[in-house]
Chain A
Amino acid sequence: DGGITQSPKYLFRKEGQNVTLSCEQNLNHDAMYWYRQDPGQGLRLIYYSQIVNDFQKGDIAEGYSVSREKKESFPLTVTSAQKNPTAFYLCASSPQYGGNEQFFGPGTRLTVL
């Protein structure tokens, strides 16, 4: 999982609570990404950041928020507005934004009780 860490590995949340998923990379990459994966499906892009202090909505940003105050960190907050948050969340980074290889973290499995 090469230089990207995500924590926690498993997270349980009660309905109505906000939770924050951590993503840290020591690869000195400019770009970082958050994806959501549902069982048996591919990855869908939630948010991405091309460079520190910048971020953009992906395809399914509603109910999520992010920040990119440091180059190495890109935390994702799942808010109570997200209707169906139970999923596997993957963080990735790449040297620059665009069609280069992405490096993935090990993922966080979020379950809403």
Chain B
Amino acid sequence: SAVISQKPSRDICQRGTSLTIQCQVDSQVTMMFWYRQQPGQSLTLIATANQGSEATYESGFVIDKFPISRPNLTFSTLTVSNMSPEDSSIYLCSVEGVGNYEQYFGPGTRLTVT
């Protein structure tokens, strides 16, 4: 299994500002995923981040709004840019297990935009 940590665990931000969320994994992984979970909703995939290449974004998500970095095999960041109240969500980092295709999830970052 993989142990994933995220920072910050929660934050309250003002509209128009940006927040960078960090995801750290205790082992090297090829793929890292970023999800958003809006209040009372299921998880929605934002993008897939492979080390050494640009992230692949899902429909409805763009790089200018959610820039992602993946500098090495154990770390990634997601930035939520120019935030509005609609960005208030839980943001989750996830990785895929080696060989068994299980997904492991971080504890999430709870973002509130005022």
**Chains A and B are bound partners:** no
